[in-house]
């Protein structure tokens, strides 16, 4: 009896139908490799929180109280928190907020630091290339507001006055996105930021135009939910 059962099993295993089913299953497994970290992180419906910073060299143009315009180059530093959602595969839409610092020219070859808060709507498009690596491009737009200081001549002499700032900041990014693990993501982007706004000086009843173009490196660490 046992010998008969063994013969039947051997015949089944050696049959063309069984061999064909096994080959089909193996082929299906080969055609459906496991998704890499970036592919998983860019699936529609995925949520992402980011912590980032940007270091940039800027070319600025700002009006002075004597009616002239100062053109100079200096730096910009930016720190931000962001939150976004993959509304469809590979396309993220979200919001970002943070602070930025930039140096601006003043009268008599002086300079001062401007400190601003910013909030922007952002979008990023990320294309997986390998299991952990992807390429990304993005853009953001929103307002900024803050303050600075400058020396102003008054009837009582020169006074260091606090000024208020307001304007629009827009930027674009292009670079690489790396899935460190299932939940961690690192972004390294070339960043181009443009700011346009005004600096208001109450004692002089003046609103001076300020614009800067900034090229730098943007780094951010993200956590995927």
pLDDT tens digit at each of 225 positions of the chain = 545 545 544 554 555 544 455 444 554 444 434 468 999 999 999 999 999 999 998 888 989 888 888 888 888 899 999 999 999 999 999 999 999 999 888 877 788 899 999 999 999 999 999 989 999 999 999 999 999 998 887 777 788 889 999 999 999 999 999 999 999 999 999 999 999 999 999 888 899 999 999 999 999 999 999
Is the domain of 58 the same as that of 144?
A: yes
In the chain, the N- to C-terminal Cα span, in Å, equals: 58
The count of structural domains within the chain is 2
Predicted pLDDT of residue 32: 39
CA distance to 1, 2, 24, 165, per residue, from 12 (Å): 17, 16, 17, 82
Residues of the chain by 3-state class (helix, strand, coil), percent to 5: 15, 70, 15
Same domain flag for 16 and 67: no
pLDDT of residue 80: 97
Q: Is 183 helix (H, G, I), strand (E, B) or coil?
A: coil
Q: How many other C-beta atoms lie within 10 A of the C-beta of residue 42? A: 27
Name the residue with tokens 């660490």. Answer: 221
**Six-digit token pair at 157?**
């002499």
**Residue 18 pLDDT:** 45
Range of the structural domain that residue 19 is part of: 2-31
157 shares its domain with 78: yes
Structure tokens that stand for 108 in this block:
């008599």
Q: Are residues 66 and 140 in the same domain?
A: yes
- Do 66 and 114 share a domain, yes or no? yes
Q: Are residues 75 and 161 in the same domain?
A: yes
Per-residue pLDDT, 154? 72
Kindly state whether residues 14 and 110 are assigned to the same domain. no
E strands within the chain?
47-63, 69-88, 91-105, 111-128, 133-154, 157-179, 184-201, 206-224
Same domain? 100 vs 160:
yes
Structure token pair of residue 59: 């070319």
Same domain, 123 and 49: yes
Give the model's pLDDT for residue 1: 52
Burial class (CB in 10 A: 0-12, 13-18, 19+), 51: middle
Exposed, middle or buried by CB within 10 Å (0-12, 13-18, 19+), for 2? exposed
pLDDT at 109: 77
Clarify whether residues 16 and 124 are in a common domain. Answer: no
Q: Are residues 60 and 138 in the same domain?
A: yes
- Residue 110's closest CA among 155, 64, 59? 64
Regarding whether 205 and 127 lie in a shared domain, the answer is: yes
The pLDDT score that the predictor gives to residue 131 is 87
Greatest Cα-to-Cα distance within the chain, rounded to the nearest angstrom: 118
Q: What is the DSSP letter of 89?
A: T
């Amino acid at each position: 009896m046992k010998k008969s059962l063994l013969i039947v099993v051997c015949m089944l295993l050696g049959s063309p139908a069984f061999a064909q089913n096994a080959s089909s299953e193996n082929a299906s497994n080969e055609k459906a490799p496991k998704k890499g970290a970036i592919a998983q992180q860019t699936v529609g419906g995925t949520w992402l929180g980011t912590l980032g910073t940007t270091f940039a060299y800027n070319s600025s143009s700002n009006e002075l109280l004597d009616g002239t315009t100062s053109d100079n180059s200096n730096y910009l530093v930016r720190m931000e928190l962001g939150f976004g959602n993959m509304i469809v595969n590979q396309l993220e839409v979200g919001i970002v907020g943070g602070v930025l610092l930039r140096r601006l020219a003043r009268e008599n070859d002086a300079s001062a630091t401007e400190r601003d808060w910013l909030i922007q709507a952002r979008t990023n498009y990320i294309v997986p290339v390998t299991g952990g690596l992807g390429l990304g491009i993005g853009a953001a737009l929103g307002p900024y507001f803050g303050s600075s200081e400058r020396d102003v001549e008054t009837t009582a002499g020169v006074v260091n006055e606090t000024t208020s700032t307001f304007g629009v900041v827009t930027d674009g990014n292009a670079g690489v996105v790396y899935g460190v693990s299932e939940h961690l993501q690192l972004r390294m982007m070339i960043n181009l930021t443009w700011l346009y706004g005004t600096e208001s000086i109450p004692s002089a009843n003046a609103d001076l135009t300020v614009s800067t173009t900034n090229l730098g490196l943007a780094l951010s660490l993200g956590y995927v939910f």
